[in-house]
Structure 1
């Protein structure tokens, strides 16, 4: 039975005290066996094994794989300006200066699609990177070049260190790279990744913690900037809300609430993708009048009970999955629910005043401590059913008529 090569949440490719040359030899043996379809002498780390599988599925050639032609200069400029990363370059370069300055390492910032937007490092290391196609505008997504710290960090959503033969393409085996994803705190989506790459012999177990910390600090910077913009929107909206004749919200372009008047406190609402100044239906709020504000929107519900007249029927489908039928004044739609989601909905239907996560855990599992599972399942249900489900406690929204068949 092959032994596993490490397994941890934030794991360096090489553990402290491990000999890089010896470990590289093991990795080469594992890689050669994997590419030949033979029995592995050891298992690659799970993040690497899963990445290899994705690379195979994408049709990446391990012998000749490499990035295609870089995008044009105009496209590169456009990606730089719209990536949301330009304002973070100072934080990223300053935070990682110690591992790039006067070293054979190169610092790379890529967008959410894996395209290299910026590079920093000595002219010598940049020339070596050029030979691999590791240039500005090139795609280093997994489906372009297989396993590497940029593409694999983006695909896995976690910081990754890739050493020597852990790379899917053979020509990359002389390198080690460490990358971490950068998320947008306003949306939770990926903005891109930051990466430090260099000769395999320069690998250090602490690099992954440093790169991950710098990425998280960049995200914290974005969050602080977002709070400042919400404060500005709140200042603009305050006199408008004070004069409003009915309940109102001031929200930014992502739906984060800056201020509210005569409304149930909430942190964020789900705005339609095509929000415009008009009367439109908004999840959780029903029909609303939407008007522009500097940096956001003024949202004024037209209904005191937005879901009045909405009927939800929970029935059994032919394949064991539940059928949830929703009828509103706008029409009818259905959702196929798993047995566990059906049990949650039935429990909420029987509890008009709502249930806590612990109460739902007790009802479903006979154990009040499995609240993490309950919250995760309720989060999925709320994404599927939108404003029909409320929180604090979990319950059907006011005005919803629930029937269990």
Structure 2
């Protein structure tokens, strides 16, 4: 988007905000979630000069006790580099939208400090008005707030992108990560970057172990497998260099925590292919070495906490959190796999996500899904039918995607 277009967009946002503040209404172009947040923000007023600060000791205690601290420390270099390269301020909050950690580029750091966009700052909309951190936290989905879409004039010069951060095992929403800069530096990939940063933190999160039905947090992150879209495996935060077959074997073991016999694992990996048991044993031996011996035999079973993005997506769907599931779904499971079991699982996850969208076609989620499945005409048509007669901002995007899919 060029500077002129951004300036026009900013003027429109200011006009809408002024109309709401002075007359209690706003043009139809204002997004519904922004308008609802403005309604909640009237109690704050427009003369707020900074966010209120929570008790310093209590904030430090929350940060110390949160699994987010461990995760952020593990990826802090990447978060800092993102902030410095884009002259952004990056913030991580708790579930109450209280900032627990922040880091800023040189210019944005000063701006952030002037409005208490710092550790302890309370950025729920009832404290400081409409902002992306609050929206992402409330909606459980990535959110962007541009210029005067913020309720408080102190941040009308900002653009903010935020995405929720979840526990990869339990699915609990732990807070959000926010990226902010000045409105004239708005970029189309801002929201995607926030999603990537959220996922980065989630993969570095301490794992949860189950004891007697209770979840006990541990500082050991265990094994984290990304299988949707692209494959990546990390053990205790360190990336493992595995070949395709080893990744498939490890994925199957992750999906079967009770363990698998040699014969069962062979059938799941190779199906009817003429591959010897010795070949499979050799691959398992390589895996056992890579995992530091944390893979038992008879049955083959992983001896550490395990989290996969596949189970994360399925757990979100089980709870009816369709938008969050679409965010977490980054593509087909191990595309091109010739493991019959993994091919079947890939189909199951893809169909489950699609059926959830057909049952509950949330517009923003369908827009994101369209990026992954651009030719799924039925999902697009179902969503547009639900939106018929409305001025939802997703409508032109969905119509454009549908036109391409039909061409």
TM-score, structure 1 as length reference: 0.50
Shift of 1:31: 0.6
Which region of structure 1 is more displaced relative to structure 2, 105-114 or 35-44?
35-44
Mark the CA change 1:372 to 1:68 in structure 2 (over 3 Å): closer, same or farther. Answer: closer
Mark the CA change 1:121 to 1:373 in structure 2 (over 3 Å): closer, same or farther. Answer: closer
Mark the CA change 1:217 to 1:34 in structure 2 (over 3 Å): closer, same or farther. Answer: same
Out of 14, 22, 27, the residue aligned to residue 36 of structure 1 is 22
2:110 partner SS: helix
CA distance in 2, matches of 1:178, 1:374: 27
Out of 147, 152, 164, the residue aligned to residue 147 of structure 2 is 164
Mark the CA change 1:71 to 1:218 in structure 2 (over 3 Å): closer, same or farther. Answer: same
Q: Contact conserved, 1:111 with 1:117, CA < 8 A, in 2?
A: yes
Q: Contact conserved, 2:80 with 2:104, CA < 8 A, in 1?
A: no
Shift of 1:204: 0.9
Q: Contact conserved, 1:251 with 1:258, CA < 8 A, in 2?
A: no
In structure 1, the partner of 2:70 is: 87
Q: Contact conserved, 1:181 with 1:192, CA < 8 A, in 2?
A: yes
Which region of structure 1 is more displaced relative to structure 2, 75-84 or 39-48?
39-48
Q: Which runs of 5+ in 1 are unaligned?
A: 1-14, 234-249, 261-294, 297-369, 377-405
Shift of 1:66: 3.7
Could you list the per-position Cα deviations for residues 175-219 of structure 1 after superposition, in whole angstroms to 9, with x for gaps in the alignment? 111111111233332211111112221111101101112212322
TM-score, structure 2 as length reference: 0.50
Mark the CA change 1:373 to 1:161 in structure 2 (over 3 Å): closer, same or farther. Answer: closer
Q: Contact conserved, 1:60 with 1:145, CA < 8 A, in 2?
A: yes
Q: Would you say 1:176 and 2:162 are equivalent positions? A: no
Q: Contact conserved, 1:104 with 1:199, CA < 8 A, in 2?
A: no
Shift of 1:157: 0.9
Alignment size in residue pairs: 233
2:26 partner SS: coil
Alignment of 1:119-198 (within 5 A): 119-198=102-181
Q: Contact conserved, 2:17 with 2:148, CA < 8 A, in 1?
A: yes
In structure 2, the partner of 1:60 is: 44
CA distance in 2, matches of 1:137, 1:49: 27
In structure 2, the partner of 1:278 is: none
Mark the CA change 1:204 to 1:18 in structure 2 (over 3 Å): closer, same or farther. Answer: farther
CA distance in 2, matches of 1:373, 1:193: 24
Q: Which runs of 5+ in 2 are unaligned?
A: 218-255, 260-303, 306-353, 361-407
Greater fraction of residues in strand: 1
Mark the CA change 1:220 to 1:184 in structure 2 (over 3 Å): closer, same or farther. Answer: same
In structure 1, the partner of 2:376 is: none
In structure 1, the partner of 2:89 is: 106
In structure 1, the partner of 2:276 is: none
Larger relative contact order, structure 1 or 2 (CA cutoff 8 Å, min sep 6): 2
Mark the CA change 1:189 to 1:54 in structure 2 (over 3 Å): closer, same or farther. Answer: farther
CA-based RMSD of the aligned residues comes to 3.6
CA distance in 2, matches of 1:371, 1:161: 27
In structure 1, the partner of 2:55 is: 71
Mark the CA change 1:258 to 1:196 in structure 2 (over 3 Å): closer, same or farther. Answer: same
In structure 2, the partner of 1:253 is: 215
CA distance in 2, matches of 1:90, 1:18: 40
Mark the CA change 1:45 to 1:373 in structure 2 (over 3 Å): closer, same or farther. Answer: closer
Mark the CA change 1:373 to 1:120 in structure 2 (over 3 Å): closer, same or farther. Answer: closer
Shift of 1:23: 0.6
CA distance in 2, matches of 1:374, 1:178: 27
In structure 2, the partner of 1:271 is: none
Could you list the per-position Cα deviations for residues 161-180 of structure 1 after superposition, in whole angstroms to 9, with x for gaps in the alignment? 11100101111101111111
Out of 204, 212, 218, the residue aligned to residue 187 of structure 2 is 204
